[in-house]
Every structure is written in structure tokens, then in C-alpha cells.
Structure 1
């Protein structure tokens, strides 16, 4: 692990701890999780015990109270596991869903749920995306209507990570039907098992196989008044605020994946016999791998820079959008070349590079498609 000016000795030690966990407790078992379609709860609770699920949260809830750079360390090392489904299961919980509660929840809501979030007893999901509204959050149609001393939630959500086996869902719904676009959206806390809330179906995906992904259905789902999360009709802005963190995390995860793919491929081409030598002897292969390694290192520094800006309170929407667009595309280019250099073995189902190539494809789509991210950059040029 090369020293970096962005990371303190504490964060370097944290990186070593996460990497050790991945090597000893994830890689030997994660292929079975892929087959089962979920990460076992015992593994998530173990991560809670080790302090990996509360990196950014206050000590009063069992967290470490660190900053965005710690999040990047966690995401990058989980990405290096080579199992994107495992990595995103954890990162949705730690950095995409539960921050809604930590940032916008009342003291009572945080006291009730945050200790379980940090310990791994309560796994979270965020439900914003719908069949007709993905990156276009303002287009969502799920609605919440006041009814007596509470709310009734009606609609559906799609592509929800941790959707099948989650415990706590943060759901975006339209609370002012007269408002247009981004206005009139609110966030709600919905517990698993709430009457009127059901998993419509588990989704069978191309990649991220160990991450459970679901369609959620809300059919007259009755919620108490205190299920409102944050300010009424301000939910769109809450979602947008958290997107910054989500996109940095996905960028860091992608760079971890890319680094792992290059590491695997380098070992393969240095050992694979070809034309009287090994593949590494071929200049075209050496140079293309070197070029990809340079691109990954440059992208990693962009991720670190954006995380530093965020940790120090700077406006970094442009830089974070660059991270999401650039890293999501780069990890796919890296996987393409690495799979190519593995030859036929790279096309065999469940070889590591084949799985990683499938897992990487979503990085240019989820959390904000590349095209949407480039528009965010363009607006600020």
C-alpha cells in the first residue's frame, strides 16, 4: 500500500484492517454468496463488530466519526475484493441509504435506529428509483397522502439494493400532487413487515449476483406521522445531497475493482505461455496494461481529491460528477482489456475476471448514468 498525502496514519491502518478482512473473511467464501444471491447476515454483523459499518457516524451510536476519506478507503478496499455484489451490499447500507437517517432524522429516529445500523443488526436500503424514474428523480410517481394521524404510501420502486432482505427502507414519495418536478417530494422511513409494503419480486441480474435487488410495492401502506424523514416536500434536495456521497463511493469502488483486475491480469500474462515465451513478452500487451494502470492511478487521485474537497466542506458537485462519469467508464475499459488478455479463460463463467467484467457494467449506469453526470459537469464549466 503506497503512502498517500491524503491519508493519515490512522486511515492507512484502517485500510490495512479492511484489506485483511477481505482477504481472510470475504474472498474464501464470496463465491458461495454469489450462488445464494445474498451476503449472510453474520458477515454484516461481523463487519459491524470490526467498526466498518459506522465509519462516518458519531461515537454515541458506536461509530468512528471519520470523514469522506475514510469512506473512500472502505469502498476502494471492498472493490478490490473482486466481488461487486458483496461490496455494494455493504456500501449501500453504509453510504447510500443510512446517511439519510443520520443527516435528516430526528434525535428520536436516530436514537431508535442508528445503533442497529452501525452494529449490522439493522440493514438499510434507499428506495428512490422507479420503473419510469431513475436518474430523473423529479419524475417519480409513488405518492404519500395524509390519512388521519399518519400517511398512506402507494406506488412501486425498482432496482432496490438490499431490497429483499433489508430491515429499514428510506422511501421517496410525492407528498404534494400539485407540485411539479422536484417540488413536493418527501422521504419516509418504512420498516420491513409494515402492512401494505411487500417485495414484488427479486430481480435476476447480469452481475452483482450476491447483492439482493428487488422491486418494492406499496399498496395502501400505512405509516405513522413520525415516519416522515426530514422536512416535508424537501425530499428531492435530501436525495441530491446524498448523491454526492454515493457517487464518490461508487468511484472509489470502481477504482478498487480496476486495480484488482490489472493485478490479476498481470499475474496471468506473466505466466501464460505464448509463441515461445509468455504473453507479457508482447509489447502490445505490456503497453496496453501499462496505459490502463496509468489511467486507473490518475482516476484514483481524482477520487481522493473529490473526497478531500467534500471532507473539508467545499462545493465539489463538478468534481464528484467527474468521478462518477470517468470511473464508471474507465472500469469497463479496464475489464474489457483484462478479459481480452485472459483469452478463452476470461469467457468462462465464474472465472474471476469474467465475474468482475459482468459486475463492472453497472458502474456506468447506477448512481447516475454517465450521460447525466456529464451534463452536471457541463453545467458547471
Structure 2
């Protein structure tokens, strides 16, 4: 059952990216995991081959392709079992803030570099004491003459080490309304007063760089503001639909990888007349997980089409985000269980990496508890039919 009708051009792009992963990326995975960083020249290779920011308009150096090209990149990275290559954070989460809210001058200054990989982006929202509550952030942005002075810190910043450009959320301390106090800013990484902290050592996604950012009287021009003053909270909320959909697409593809690998392992075990594959409990577990995954993929693919059509599906993407990421954790864990001792041997069993990598999916883009709050609030405050 195909919900999304990919064109021949889509299929060619998928095959080209899959080949690129196999030849230019995966042979170096262990090296980059150990270094906890993907070299910047790899970002430039991604850009040169058209695998960054595929939806950016041609006027700014992009290919002007549809969102399905982005979905293909997300899926193939997950199916390659390499979430540490977190290129779609740049392409599908951060850069869309620039394409949607930047001035023409800002777009011309930054988007061509983002497309070719010369500029790597990060978004800085989370703070040590604020967590998922963006309205309680304390990093300040004070306007003085023709400059803005930024003070504070951000944490858990993905691409934080490699980034050249940061979409920063900060608040005006003079504004008492917490939602109207927040604005967005474009901060170049070499701006005086900005310091990158020590890189975090994470459970998974080892080659994806994550760090803290510190702002000490960091001065940027007023022209560095992204979007209207005081509209930051609204602009962040407007982009959460795509961010959470991206997370759900990735989670489904991660689950597909785990199940395909496990099923293939069991097929070989069955051919070898192993007791492992003849276990009814194991066979039922596989049947249950595949059925669950098929239904979730149909739901997510439907949301992809709705999103491309410009529909407001923030409620449904919140559902998809928490459901698919919980499933990815459960499926990766259950598949490892089915393999018995084999399931815990790092290096021999790729599910170990998958298990470690998918753990964070339920945390970023808003924790799954936040997703449930959003869903419950909408259900209880609306008279709309559930069907």
C-alpha cells in the first residue's frame, strides 16, 4: 500500500544518496564516532552533491525541490543506522527559520552557504534551568543604539561544535509578558563574546556534536534580528510541526531498520534450523512489531502529504512524534531481546547502535510528555470530532 507516490526523480535521488552513504560516509562511521565529530569537509561533500537543504529556492542556490526529497534523506540516514549524521537538523529544522523569516539581505548572506555546506547551522533554545519551557528562558538580548547585547547560556546544542551560524532565542528583560519578550537572532559563531563549551559525551549519536554555548556581552547588529521583535515564541511554535514530523519520519525509519535486520537474521536462522527462529514467542513478537510499524508508517506518510499541502496538523504530528519515538525505543529493545546473547554484543550486532541512538528521539523536539500535554489540552478544550 503506497500512500506517497514518489516520482522517478525521487527514486533516483534516493539511490544516489544511498550510494553516497555507502561509499563516502559509512566506511568512516567508527572513526567519526570515536572523534565525536563529523569533519566539516563532509558537510561540504553533502552540499556539493545536493543532499543539504533540498527545498531552498533556486534564487538562493538551492534546488527548489519538494519536501519528499527531505524525507528521503531522513529515511536513508536512519536506514543506514547512522543517526550521528544529523544533517537534517541543519536542513529541515534550522535553515527553515531563515527561509521563512529572514530579510532578503539575510537570505542572500546565509542561504547559499547553507546549501553547499560552507555554513553549518544550529538552533539555540534550551537552557540549563528552562528545559522544554521556552517562556522561562533567561538569556537576555538588550538593544543599545544600533546593536543588541546578548548575555546568558544555552545547553544541549546539536551542531554546537561545528556550527558557523546560530538561530538564537533570547528575551528582552524589560518586557513583562514572557511570550512577547522572546525574539530570534542570527549569531555568527565567531562573534566576540560567544564561547562554545565542552562537548557532551552522549549515550548515542556519538559523532553528532552537542555542546553548551555561552554569551558574555556578545554584540550583534540590530540587523541580526530574525523576524519581528517580540515574535520569537510564535515563530518557534510555527516551526514545531515540521520539526516533530521530521522526528517521526526518522523514528519510523529507525524501527524499519531494526525489524528488517532482525527478520533477515531470523530467516537465516530458520534456514540453519536454529531453535531461535522456531520459537513461537519470537515469531509472534515479530508479527506484532511489524503490524504496529505498518500502521504508524501509514499515519506518518499521511501527515507528510498534509504538511506538504500546507495543512495545520500540529496536533497529529504531536501524536506521531510521541508514538513513533516510543515505538522505536520499544522495537529496538525487543529486537535485541529476541537475539538472546547476540543482541548485546556491540560491534557484531548493529542493533546496539540503533538502541543507543533512538533513546534521544523521545526527548528532543519537545519531550513526549510535552506532546501528551498538547494532545490532551486540545482534546479537552475543543468540541471537534475525534475522527
TM-score after normalising by structure 2: 0.93
1:333 match = 330
Within the candidate set 293, 296, 301, 1:299 is matched to 296
Aligned ranges for residues 118-157 of structure 1 at < 5 Å? 118-157=115-154
Aligned ranges for residues 303-318 of structure 1 at < 5 Å? 303-318=300-315
The separation in 2 between residues aligned to 1:344 and 1:25, in whole angstroms, is: 32
1:69 match = 68
Please tell me whether the aligned partners of residues 205 and 357 of structure 2 are also in contact (alpha carbons under 8 angstroms).
yes
The separation in 2 between residues aligned to 1:356 and 1:147, in whole angstroms, is: 48
Summarize the Cα distance change of 1:68–1:377 in structure 2 as closer, same or farther, 3 Å threshold. farther
Aligned ranges for residues 65-214 of structure 1 at < 5 Å? 65-86=64-85, 88=86, 90-214=87-211
Q: How far has the Cα of 1:20 moved from its partner? A: 2.4
Local SS of the residue matching 2:229: coil
Please tell me whether the aligned partners of residues 53 and 95 of structure 2 are also in contact (alpha carbons under 8 angstroms).
no
Q: How far has the Cα of 1:18 moved from its partner? A: 2.2
Please tell me whether the aligned partners of residues 152 and 220 of structure 1 are also in contact (alpha carbons under 8 angstroms).
yes
TM-score after normalising by structure 1: 0.94
Aligned ranges for residues 227-376 of structure 1 at < 5 Å? 227-272=224-269, 277-350=274-347, 351-376=349-374
Summarize the Cα distance change of 1:241–1:362 in structure 2 as closer, same or farther, 3 Å threshold. same
Aligned ranges for residues 12-27 of structure 1 at < 5 Å? 12-27=11-26
Q: How far has the Cα of 1:206 moved from its partner? A: 0.8
Local SS of the residue matching 1:28: helix
The separation in 2 between residues aligned to 1:222 and 1:183, in whole angstroms, is: 22
Task: Flag structure 1 segments of 5+ consecutive residues without an equivalent.
Answer: none
The separation in 1 between residues aligned to 2:155 and 2:41, in whole angstroms, is: 27
For residues 148-177 of structure 1, the C-alpha deviation after alignment (integer angstroms, 9 at most, x for no partner) is 210100000010000011111110000253
Q: How far has the Cα of 1:23 moved from its partner? A: 2.7
Residue 57 (1) aligns with residue 89 (2): no
For residues 241-295 of structure 1, the C-alpha deviation after alignment (integer angstroms, 9 at most, x for no partner) is 1111111111111111111111221222333489962422212112211211121
Local SS of the residue matching 1:232: coil
- CA RMSD, 1 decimal: 1.9
